[in-house]
Chain A
Amino acid sequence: MNDTTETPLLQPASSRDGSRYWKSLEDLAETPAFQEWMQREFPAGASEIEGVNRRHFLKIMAASFGLAGLGLSGCRRPEKTILAFGNQAEMMIPGNPVFYTSSQPSAKDNIPLVVETHQARPTKIEGNPSYTPYRGATDLFAQASVLDMYDPDRSTHSRNRSGRVDMAAVRDQLNTIRRKHRDDRGRGLVLLVEGSTSPSRSRILRKLKAQLPEALCAEYEPLSHYGAETAFAAITDTALRPLPQFDAAKRIVAIDSDFLQTGPGKLGFANAFAKGRKVYHAEDADRMSRLYSVESNLTLTGSMADHRLRLGSAQMSAFASLLAAEVLRQSGLNAEALAAVQALQTNLEIDPDWLSACAADLLEHRGASLVVAGDHLPAEVHCLCYLINAAIGANGSTIRYAQVEKPSASIRDVVTRLQSGRVETLFILGGNPAYDAPADLDWSNAVKQAGQTLHLSYYRNETSLQCDWHIARSHYLESWGDGRTYDGTVVPVQPMIDPIFRTFNELEVLARLAGESETDPYAITRATFDAMTDGTDAAFHRFLSNGLLADSAFATENAPLTIAELLIQLSGANVSSPEFSADSLELIFAASQNTYDGRYANNGWLQECPEPITKFTWDNAILISPRLARELESASGVQITPDRSMMVEAGRLTQQTATFQRGRQHAPIAELTVNGRTIKAPVHIVPGLANYSIVAPLGFGRKAAGRVGNGVGFDAYPLRTTSTPYIATGATLKLTSERVQLANAQEHWSMEGRAIVREGNVEEWKQEPDFANNMGMESHSPPVYGKAQNESVQYKVTNQPRGGSAHEHPRFTDPLPNVPIWNRPGAKEQFRAPQQWGMVIDMNACTGCNACVVACQSENNIPIVGRDQVMRGREMHWIRLDRYFTGDVNDDNDIPEDVQVSFMGVACQHCENAPCETVCPVNATVHDEQGLNVMAYNRCVGTRYCANNCPYKVRRFNFFDWNKRNINEVYKGPLGRVDEPELGKMQKNPNVTVRMRGVMEKCTYCVQRIETAKHDQKRIAGASGNVGVPDGRILTACQQVCPTEAIVFGDLSDANTKVSKLRESDRDYSLLGYLNVRPRTTYLARIRNPNKRIPRTYKMPFTRASYKARQPKPLNR
């Protein structure tokens, strides 16, 4: 959708969406593309009311007109039928979900899953806890992938140039290709596959290569993670995959590595890293690990770091050589290596005290320290990293190396062969090279050289439109297959449902090309498994039941390389640091947190999930540093930084650009030029970026993604070349006077109040263990518990001391007065008080990964509202992840360049004295005897008083019938067209009410899971009093998905539960506790662990420092 010189616009004739899509884009063909985009970004209010601004809304299939309204049943009771099976399916109990193991395929790391199915339709994805490194966690992409399966835009049938074709025709075509190339030994055949971990696929591919030895089989992933593997493969001829053990590491240096959020293995890394951060009492403070992060982009890893050094990504080789030299110098062990590293001349200058303190810290924790480097960095960084790890004793203790297969041919080889004109058949299996291939390969022209082209794809995307044949592909939840996790453990891919449409499994397609007699994907998977094991049915069933094959991880080595080998490789490496300025910027291509590399572009949950750092939904922007913003401003005269008056409080940023108006961002548009190519895109300032590094998130600006993803954001792929896949230098940025409105949610749901985020440093925590409760208003106005102030948590939650209140509070220890049997003499002693639910969120472990937001959306049938409604602040997420920047402000005029980032997940706090309840005129929101603040949707009349009275801003109102009406006609209210695609309905959780227009909703603590667990326990109890749900039986959706186990839920009335024990932590505090609302969710204050020897180390975090500075006098408590 951008005005690029490189990417030709798709012609309307090649549209896949029929009239609706192209009716909206008719004018696109006539006007410059970017102008069109602009108009879309400035939706005029009036036109929306008429319902004509339809482009950026989720448009879903109008498949079910017939179901409209209440029907004509009138006063008669509608007759419903119950359709039991003709023949009962095994294990299927109506109303009880069935759980199957599976895994989500990806290029290098299949995430093990347990999928919840209701009547054979998958509704919710959870991680498989049997795989202990990931502990049952998943990421937001895995959570959202279930929605892709029910996407009305997915490809439902195969086609060729003449139109739809049936499955038999596709199979005939595959056989024809096979016969044709059997004769030329595959000379004219090129296969381009996407990354996969599947042992079955590699087995079939090997057979195919044996049969057709001259065929080219290449693999392409736009965001591959082969940096370290190829670097080591150059030395030993086998690819080595570093497997860091973050739980064993006390000191960690991350060199431009976002190991917590991007890249394979992240779930295990985040979980292991968080183990080192979970200290609950000040006396254990020294057990905490310390993370140094050196990075250009502000990533989640950088946000978690105790020390963050901003450097350009292109300067990382230089940094690694300096660190290696310093570590080797201090260790004094290997003079030869030291000399070799020092011989690498670098011109980078960083604070020598920082470097020596960091190196000393690593060496002091010899055997418990670790250095990791980002996979996008050049080979010398990985070699230097290995060298440092050898010197600090990490190899074998905190990092191991697994031998893996070497990466195969690349997309460049494909293009070379295409250009030679010898390719008769180009078969693309998965992927989307027409959209994401490097720009210098000129993919679109190269494809034309092939005799015929075929594309196996889940969506009919940009690549499918270029190809002669489009073969519809099954979703992984419909497919048999297998895969490996990052450490090599074999996991199954198990179908939950037969393919809904006439689609193909990749294994079948490859098997037919290879001429296999067995083309059934199940049989192929089984045969692969049998070859790895003894091949018994029992072993296979155990594999499916556990969801993994035990002890199948890659064998690891402690130190597979010798120092001498490394030094040879390093000699003559270029570690010079480029000089950056406003005229010579470094451009970084980063994975998007919404669409990854673009493959999730048509997923509404992901598009609407605010990106963790920028909080963009439905958009991306070029990210620039504050210093660059100033310089661009003075060069162009366009104001993008805030006025002085817009900065509030000491250093706390609430408004990032001058262009925020009533929560909407009007971002200026800039022209970005690199490698002779130019695109136009909005810019957004992110404090914490390296000064002259700019970031372009990939995965947006799709043209044939589907009705959700088309034209969202700008496409950065046209700037990306084979030589600059991740880092391009020499970029320039020029501001224009144009502006564009972006859907940025960062100001939504801002809370009033003091000391919302509470942080401390290890040293001051040790001195003042309960600092978290001596901040904010609580320091002089704590929650009013009256005489019960010092009672235990258990006493407080069950007895509800009334404190100074005029009202008698109900005591949960007592039976309800209207139940005579329990109010008889002697009965009360036997009464078992209901369990009291509560939650603790550990801000020291929360990395801000957003998985909880999407998991909650999936579990609780939360609708998406579309870009326009997000700009109006109407997004429906029940849990939001507040991101706060704090910074050391040296000059009040300026935006801090070095920032500390804090994340805080906020959902309904289930206050014991809930302010929302007292204002509801119809008792739609009330307390129950388990301490839950419940919403009775069918009572709610939509006054929204409760939302007004909620200090946490966690209540969400259904302004429209998101679930039922056509999203273009929501403003017509009940007169709008009913538009509930059957496919979309299948995803809904049947245990949660789908809310309608005019109803308030909010986090329920997953009450459906609580009630299900209680019902189960009652079934187990039978004629006994064993009705208490054991601790750990109930996992809320957000808790289950959390990679770092930052969220803990359970019974507060029992002192032995995990949540009660966390409540005893020094760090425990209530958000806005001084309001005396007594929230059931509490937070554990964040602790940072800076190195005292590093210059400019702060005694306390910026937030706490500024908080103290604002206090009129020291607190004497």
Chain B
Amino acid sequence: MANLFPKSINTLPIKIIVAIVFIVAAITAGVTYYFTPEYTRIGYAPTQPVAFSHALHVDQLGMDCRYCHTHVDRAAHANIPPSNTCMSCHSLVKVDSPALAPVRASYESGNPIPWVRVHAAPDYVYFNHAAHVNRGISCVECHGQVNQMEVVYHAKSLSMAFCLECHRNPEQYIRPLEAVYDLNWERPTEPEAVAELETFVHDWKVNPPQSCSGCHR
């Protein structure tokens, strides 16, 4: 009777074990590397109830961030504007646009528009917008070029490593206060200008916290 199994089958169990080890290691490494905010969050661009275009309003019309996000320099939260902010223009402009129907409905009924949250810090993270924008950190550092976005998407990872990168090297992100809301501002490269940015860190006593209490309480 011929052998049912060739001799090479003897090593099969060990091969399987080795293969499993490799596969598990690969999955672990993959999850560790790819299941981070860098990969899971960036690019998140949910469909909003109203197709609001930052590119149109900010880049083309030249509106300031704070026209709508009124409390960003006064509060921890950068507020989403209430519907009456939209209506201050849209009661005159595009008054009958079907795209704006939810805004008009909200304005009249007082019920909120369910904007979908794009950037979310975990509940145990207490981020303060006012402390950043008043000290030379621009919106663009965390939110990307929102002024060019047709649909807002998650541009940066907002992971803890991302935060610490800036907290350790503030001179690479700080800018003059007048440029904070200018999302097209370009970081100068000539040495004198860089040195001036670095003096901001020293003169303003910018010493960002790196310990837990800075963000977690």
State the CA gap A827–B77 with chains docked (Å). 33
Given A81-B114, A85-B82, A85-B112, CB of A993 within 8 Å of CB of B217: yes
State the CA gap A1010–B126 with chains docked (Å). 13
B217→A1025 contact, CB < 8 A: no
Residues of A within 8 A of B120 (CB): 80
Secondary structure type dominating chain A contacts: loop
By beta carbon, the residue of chain A nearest B164 is A818
Given A81-B116, A1015-B128, A1019-B130, CB of A1007 within 8 Å of CB of B213: yes
Q: Which of A929-963 contact B (CB under 8 A)?
A: 929-930, 932, 934-939
Residues of B within 8 A of A926 (CB): 211-212
Q: Which of B18-53 contact A (CB under 8 A)?
A: 40-41, 44, 46
Min CB gap B203→A, angstroms: 6
A1025→B204 contact, CB < 8 A: yes
Min CB gap A999→B, angstroms: 11
Min CB gap B169→A, angstroms: 7
By beta carbon, the residue of chain A nearest B103 is A86
Residues of A within 8 A of B136 (CB): 1023
B131→A1019 contact, CB < 8 A: yes
Q: Which of B140-157 contact A (CB under 8 A)?
A: none
Q: Which of B108-150 contact A (CB under 8 A)?
A: 108-117, 120, 122-124, 126, 128, 130-131, 134-136
Range, interface on chain B: 35 or more
Min CB gap A1019→B, angstroms: 5
B116→A929 contact, CB < 8 A: no
Q: Does A106 contact B (CB under 8 A)?
A: no
Q: Which of A86, A932, A1004, A1025 contacts B106 (CB 8 A)?
A: A86
B207→A822 contact, CB < 8 A: yes
Q: Which of B52-83 contact A (CB under 8 A)?
A: 71, 73-77, 79-83
Min CB gap A916→B, angstroms: 14
Q: Does B201 contact A (CB under 8 A)?
A: yes
A938→B216 contact, CB < 8 A: yes
Q: Does A531 contact B (CB under 8 A)?
A: no
A64-107, CB under 8 A of B: which get 1 and which 0? 00000000000001011111111110000111100000000000
State the CA gap A88–B81 with chains docked (Å). 8
Given A1011-B126, A1022-B135, CB of A992 within 8 Å of CB of B217: yes
Range, interface on chain A: 35 or more
Q: Does B168 contact A (CB under 8 A)?
A: yes
State the CA gap A568–B217 with chains docked (Å). 66
B134→A93 contact, CB < 8 A: no
Q: Which of A351-359, A621-629, A830-838 contacts B (4 or more CB under 8 A)?
A: A830-838
B75→A96 contact, CB < 8 A: yes
State the CA gap A832–B200 with chains docked (Å). 14
B213→A84 contact, CB < 8 A: no
Q: Which of A77, A928, A932 contacts B44 (CB 8 A)?
A: A77
B116→A79 contact, CB < 8 A: yes
Residues of A within 8 A of B216 (CB): 934, 936-938, 993
B213→A934 contact, CB < 8 A: yes
By beta carbon, the residue of chain A nearest B115 is A82
A84→B212 contact, CB < 8 A: no
State the CA gap A1022–B132 with chains docked (Å). 9
A95→B205 contact, CB < 8 A: no
Min CB gap B86→A, angstroms: 10
A86→B109 contact, CB < 8 A: yes
A1023→B114 contact, CB < 8 A: no
Q: Does A1021 contact B (CB under 8 A)?
A: yes
Q: Does B198 contact A (CB under 8 A)?
A: yes
By beta carbon, the residue of chain B nearest A926 is B212
Q: Does B159 contact A (CB under 8 A)?
A: no
Q: Does A13 contact B (CB under 8 A)?
A: no
B214→A1011 contact, CB < 8 A: yes
Min CB gap B12→A, angstroms: 34
Min CB gap B167→A, angstroms: 8
Residues of A within 8 A of B128 (CB): 1011, 1015
A87→B84 contact, CB < 8 A: yes
Given A81-B117, A821-B201, CB of A1022 within 8 Å of CB of B177: yes
A1021→B211 contact, CB < 8 A: no
Q: Which of B41, B46, B110, B170 contacts A821 (CB 8 A)?
A: B170
Q: Does A28 contact B (CB under 8 A)?
A: no
State the CA gap A827–B107 with chains docked (Å). 53
Given A85-B82, A87-B84, A96-B74, CB of A928 within 8 Å of CB of B214: yes
Residues of B within 8 A of A1023 (CB): 135-136, 176-177, 200, 204
Given A816-B210, A1015-B131, CB of A88 within 8 Å of CB of B114: no
New A-B contacts (5) at CB < 8 Å, excluding given A81-B117, A934-B212, A1015-B76? A79-B117, A86-B106, A1010-B213, A1022-B177, A1024-B204
What 8 A-B pairs are tightest by C-beta distance, nearest first?
A928-B211, A95-B77, A83-B112, A85-B82, A88-B82, A86-B110, A1025-B205, A81-B114
7 A–B contact pairs at CB < 8 A? A80-B116, A82-B117, A83-B112, A820-B168, A992-B217, A1021-B135, A1025-B204
